[in-house]
Amino acid sequence: MNRRQKRELNELLGDRVRWDVSMAEYSTFRAGGRAEALADVDTVECLQALVRWLRTNDVAWRIIGRGSNILVSEQGFAGVIVRLQDALAGVARGHEPDCTGPGPVTVRAGGGCSMARLLAWCTAHSLSGLEFLAGIPGSVGGGVRMNAGAWGQAMGERLQALQVLDGEGGLRRLEAAELRFSYRRLELDGQDPDRMIIVTAWFGLERGRQAEIVARCRGYLARRREKQPAGVGSAGSFFKNPAGDYAGRLIEAAGLKGLTRGDAMVSPRHANFIVNTGRATADDIAALMVEVQERVYRDSGIRLEPEVCIF
Ligand SMILES: Cc1cc2nc3c(=O)[nH]c(=O)nc-3n(C[C@H](O)[C@H](O)[C@H](O)COP(=O)(O)OP(=O)(O)OC[C@H]3O[C@@H](n4cnc5c(N)ncnc54)[C@H](O)[C@@H]3O)c2cc1C
């Protein structure tokens, strides 16, 4: 960005914009290059004004949530990384007419709301259906975009509607019938998902017994603890499972558990986790990713695709 653009962005966002920010602090990998600017946005109006300004000025941008599925390359991101905060990170009962009837109860969550907060709120209100999210460290926006899921369930199945902001700054409500979810992916006809910000999501949940909801969440968390590495940086499963197989099985079969590049390592505990054991750089992680892809391809003929969003 040039000096005029920096001045205008400072005027637009005040102290909600920070410059030359290490993205290692905003990624669960604890690694990543620097972003030219990081903008925390707390109202729809501010978000619209920002997106319109970015478009007019042809400045690159990306939206992030909790950074639990991203890797910002070592050379950094020339542009603005946007996060949703405060009024765009809340959770409340939806205002749909059926929310007091016998059907599903609608819960409305802001794109910036953490999964943990959403799940805690649902549990406190004895609403069941999202327990499978227990232990997934993302936000509602990131989770919907990635169709995050576990234990045979995924977020898309619970969605009733979305409010999205497009790359021109226009707000739209999309009903469930207009959304196409597939494995770790939300698709919108004719719309680049990277140009679309999930502002609000409405979920349809069932009334349940609080003690049973808590027990299910604890059960899922315990299963996670058994299988996943703890106390190290990671972005969860690094590669998508190819059709009919598991990335972790293929990586293990190729003998790659424990393989390292700098401080980046293929977890000996779960082969589909690339972990940061200390001071791994984004370059270390990217080099390890390529090495795993090549060696799995040589071993099995299958080309693994990253699930992690790299920018
Ligand atoms: C320990 C660990 C365990 C995990 N386990 C699971 C698991 O079981 N299942 C699973 O599916 N995932 C899992 N993940 C991955 C990750 O938590 C999910 O993909 C999560 O949904 C990402 O949310 P986020 O807010 O962190 O998104 P980010 O990592 O910040 O972003 C991911 C993508 O979503 C986009 N995005 C973020 N916010 C928005 C928004 N408001 N609007 C539009 N796009 C947006 C970003 O541009 C990016 O493309 C795990 C990660 C970790 C670290």
- DSSP assignment of 163-229 equals EEE-TTS-EEEEEGGG-EEETTEEEBTTB-GGG-EEEEEEEEEEE--HHHHHHHHHHHHHHHHHHS-
pLDDT tens across 251-310, in order?
999 999 999 999 999 999 999 999 999 999 999 999 999 999 999 999 999 999 999 999
Is 109 a pocket residue for ligand 1 (Cβ < 6 Å)?
no
Q: Which fold has domain 3-86?
A: 3.30.43
At 75, the pLDDT band (50, 70, 90 cuts) reads: very high
Sequence-separated (6 or more) residues with CB below 8 Å from residue 211:
none
Share of the chain above pLDDT 70, in %: 97
CATH tag, 247-310: 3.90.78.10
In the set 52, 184, 216, 224, the catalytic residue is 184
Give the pLDDT confidence score for residue 265 in this predicted structure: 98
Give the pLDDT confidence score for residue 97 in this predicted structure: 47
pLDDT of 145 above 80: yes
Ligand 1 center to 146 CA (angstroms): 6
CB 274 within 8 A of CB 238: yes
Residues of the chain with CATH 3.90.78.10: 247-310
Give yes or no: 184 in active site. Answer: yes
Give the pLDDT confidence score for residue 101 in this predicted structure: 58
CATH class of 89-227: alpha beta
Residues of the chain with CATH 3.30.465.10: 89-227
Residues of the chain with CATH 3.30.43.10: 3-86
Q: Work out the mean pLDDT of the chain and round it to a whole number.
A: 94
pLDDT of 247 above 80: yes
